[in-house]
Structure 1
Amino acid sequence: MSTYTTIQGDVWDAIAYKVYGDSKYMGFLMDANPDKITIFVFGAGVVLNVPNLPASETAAPNMPTWRTG
């Protein structure tokens, strides 16, 4: 797990895009930071936990199962 320090105006989906490369992973960020779940637009300096994505999310699509394990 790593952390991300927000800049003024950051929002969940944009942070997910910055740290994971895709906004579809914002749920992982939200789950890892339940104390900040009510924040919609962040101020500067908020430190968020950034969990590693599960292996099932990082495997390349259309790869044979023996290559994804």
Structure 2
Amino acid sequence: MNAIDCIEHITSAGERWDSLAWRYYGDPYGYGRIIQANPALDITPILPSGRVVLIPVLPLEEARAAEQLAAEELPPWKR
């Protein structure tokens, strides 16, 4: 994976893999692709602050599917 396919994120204190997945994908379980894009980082529950984490950009079709799934999980008054 190269930098063109990724967004660089600099971690803040207390950030976790799942919180990054939620922030960028709207799915806390999407952290696997972030871990795979960062083989040099240790897999710890809480990321150290100031580290550069590469966030893979989702293909458009996959991003739209993730948005649709997130919208379906919201209660009707929040859609």
TM-score when normalising by structure 2: 0.65
What amino acid is aligned across from residue 7 of structure 2 in structure 1?
S
**Alignment correspondent of 1:19:** 24
Unmatched 5+ residue regions in structure 1?
A: 62-69
**Alignment correspondent of 2:12:** 7
Deviation of 1:56 after TM superposition, in Å, equals: 4.6
What amino acid is aligned across from residue 18 of structure 1 in structure 2?
R
Higher normalized helix content (fraction of residues): 2
Aligned alpha-carbon RMSD (Å): 1.7
Identity %, equivalent residues:
31
TM-score when normalising by structure 1: 0.72
Aligned length: 61
